[in-house]
Amino acid sequence: MGIMKTAAVKGMIPAGNKVGELRSNLFRLITEMPFVLEDRFGAEGFDTVAEIFKRLGEQDATAMKKHLGLGDTLKDSVDAWIIIGHIMGSEMDVTWESENRAVANHPYCPQYEEFKKHGKIYCESACWPYVGAVAEKIAPGVKMEIVQQAEMGRTCTKALVYTPSNVE
């Protein structure tokens, strides 16, 4: 038995390997779910995927507020996106166009890369409902906008916009 296998069997798995394996599994799940459900159920399957990720985003926003002490500002929503990006291994550049608008561009998005390998970009059903729900649940009055959709040659660009009249 090799050293790596012996260590793994005994539960001695380096943290970096654990994170890498978890990320890989998440990307596979996020990629396969829309493909399978759209193939099997058509538009209804596609909508189901979006609803699942929206619910997960709302739940994660609540957890992030509780465990990380995020407040309810536009900056807190941006910070949540940055945190999620770090967890998932993406690169994100945020440009503040005004105090009420932040634009996020991804020079590298591992989920986008995974979709691209499969020949179809599913950001609309998986990523966008999730990150939109996170941002909007954290800060009432914040809405996500798609500035530029992802294509086979580039990742998407999203914006978070705070409008006081959107506060319920």
**pTM listed for this prediction:** 0.85
Partners of 94 in beta bridges: 104
Residue 1 inside a domain? The answer is no
pLDDT band for position 11 (50/70/90)?
Answer: low
Owning domain of residue 74: 16-166
The owner of tokens 């193939």 is 39
Does a structural domain hold residue 7?
no
Residue 6 maps to a domain:
no
Say how many domains are in the chain. Answer: 1
Please, are residues 48 and 56 in contact by the beta-carbon 8 Å criterion?
Answer: no
Share of the chain above pLDDT 90, in %: 58
Note whether 136 and 166 are within 8 A (CB): no
User: pLDDT (tens digit, 9 = 90+) per residue, 64-120?
Assistant: 999 999 999 999 999 999 999 988 889 999 999 999 999 999 999 988 998 899 898
Per the CB < 8 A criterion, the answer to whether 162 and 100 are in contact is yes
Residue 24 located in a structural domain: yes
Tell me whether residue 9 is in a domain.
no
Q: Give long-range contacts, CB 8 A cutoff, 24+ apart: 45-51.
A: 46/125, 47/125, 49/122, 49/125, 49/126, 50/124, 50/125, 50/126, 50/128, 50/129, 51/129
Question: In angstroms, what is the C-alpha Rg of the chain?
Answer: 18
The values of phi and psi at residue 141, to 5°, are 95, -10
What is the rounded CA–CA span in Å between residue 23 and residue 122?
17
pLDDT at 77: 96
Is 102 among the domain residues? yes
In a domain, 141, yes or no: yes
Residue 3 inside a domain? The answer is no
Query: Helix, strand or coil for residue 14?
Result: coil
CATH code for position 63: 3.30.1380.20
**pLDDT band at 156; cut points 50, 70, 90:** very high
